[in-house]
Amino acid sequence: MRAAAWSAPSRAVAFFSGPVGTGTKIAILAVVNAIGVWALIILAHRHQWVAAAATLLVTAIIDVIYMLPRAYPAKFLLPGTFFLVAFQVIPILYTVNVALTNYSTGHVVSKAAAIKQIEQVTLAETGSGKTFTMTPADDSKGSLVLLLVDDTNGKTFVGTKDELKEVPKGTFTVSNGSITKADGYKVLTGQALIDSSANLGKLIVPSGGQNGIRAEGLSTAVELHPTLRYDQERDVFVRISDGTVFRDNGRGSFVGAKDEQLLPGWKVNVGLHNFSRLIHVRALRQPFLRVFVWNIAYAALTVLLSFAIGLFLAITLDKPGLRLRGAYRSALILPFAIPPFLSLLVWRGLLNDDFGVVNRLLGHIGIHIPWLFDGNAHWYLLHGNWAMVAILIVSTWLTVPYFFLISLGALQAIPAELIEAARVDGGSAWQVFRRVTLPLLLVAVAPLMIASFAFNFNDFGKVYLLTGGGPSVGDNTIAGASDILITYTYKIAFGAGLGQDYGLATAVSMIIFFIVAAISAFSFSRTKALENLA
């Protein structure tokens, strides 16, 4: 029975190595080619020629490799290479590309789309504009349209995003000044009417020239006239009222003489402009330097404190005759058994200024510390320092079990003969530890300390879940007192409140990568000295 079970894989391989295997391979390649053709059609329709060429090339490579008998090694390398490119190389290249653009709120679409949107959003009501009785409806395809009756001459129209079409008066049924029925259209009522209200303001019906009709409420519409005129030959916008000219500033925006900017803009390559902003713009440079210094201190102190405490506990519990040694060890690694985000939320509650257990206990001896929240503006500096202390305490508490385990393992791997020889030579306990135990320990632990530094340098969860990067430091920047670079980047990209600046945030993320890479490379080079000592 057992022999038959062990031979089953061999028989399966043999079965799929003959005609059955060839047929299966051809069938799978047929599916892959069908998917490739489908992707080529979609990409060509969207004029994504680079992606289409890459799809064609990859599909051809797959066919060649899996059909040629001599390409046997490549059959195993191709899947790994594919996933490496898909999940590592392409995201890195995309990140670099975004960092070199002005991709942000208001700079997402192409220039042509931005011009069209500017023309639409700058339409305004004037005294000469027509008014209409209006009712929203759905056409036969389910698209939103406006049923319109001109208040001046009673003509009836159906307005879509593409055109304003006059229809016979008998098409509409008007009751009590509102359109209740329309041939070929479904008048929206009740919940459907409420649901459509979000899209009504976005629907502008072209009514001739650059004019447009837009709904005002749920029962009326007005004709809007342009306040800006686009001059295609000069590639400028001209304000009709005063002749102000808005020119392309080369960075994805039309800007006037007094730096007045038209929105939206468009996405363009700006080179190293995002990196330059971190140097030359004071509002970005000042918080960046402050956050960078704190980030280095936070990561380094977390590693050093955690390693020191973990090593101390490991030495203490590395005594064979110690009672309940197993129970102590189990208790010290309990933080590993709890999901970190739950631990952080529990710590956030414990350190709450008003209701937390920590301040309640300290209150018995007359001490109150603003760990996380403080509404008193005069305390923000002290509050910020205590927020940093809180992060260090919690981060150390979460990291100590890790260093305890690796230090305990490294201590037990040190030959006992070396320790005994050092003691026989007259070395004190401290001398033995400093000259024998610690160097040998660091050979194994130093690379893990470097990895822990890199992890804590980018530890978004601890800072964001515990303090949210706060409190505010009073300099009108989005970076709080306890923000590290990764939370600062997140706020730039998503949490600024006034808009997202993905290009700048990506530039900061690239700087973070180079900082961590440089520190790690230097630290790893220094560990060679420890290896020589060993």
Sheet holding 245-248, edge to edge: 228-231, 236-239, 245-248, 254-255, 261-262
Please tell me the pTM assigned to this model: 0.77
Contact present, 517 and 423 (Cβ < 8 Å): no
Domains in the chain and their CATH numbers?
A: 12-99 (1.20.58.370), 111-262 (2.40.430.10), 280-533 (1.10.3720.10)
Query: What does the alpha-carbon distance between residue 214 and residue 200 come to, in Å, rounded to a whole number?
Result: 8
Sign of the Cα pseudo-torsion (432, 437, 438, 443, in order): positive
Cα–Cα distance, 311 to 399 (Å, whole number): 12
pLDDT digits (tens, 9 = 90+) for 131-156: 999 999 998 888 899 999 998 888 99
Dihedral of the alpha carbons of 79, 81, 86, 88, in degrees to the nearest 10: 140
Percent helix / strand / coil, the chain, rounded to 5: 60, 15, 25
By the 10 Å C-beta count (0-12 exposed, 13-18 middle, 19+ buried), 489 is classed as buried
Span 339-351, pLDDT tens digits: 888 888 899 888 8
| Encoded tokens for 118 | 């500017």
Look at residue 473 and give its three-state secondary structure: coil
pLDDT tens readout for residues 277-302: 989 988 888 889 999 999 999 999 99
pLDDT digits (tens, 9 = 90+) for 454-513: 999 999 999 999 888 888 776 667 888 899 999 999 988 886 555 789 999 999 999 999
Q: Which helix H or strand E contains 174, and what residues bound it?
A: strand 172-175
Burial of 69 (0-12, 13-18, 19+ CB in 10 A): exposed
Q: Are the beta carbons of 219 and 148 closer than 8 angstroms?
A: no
pLDDT over 50 at 377, yes or no: no
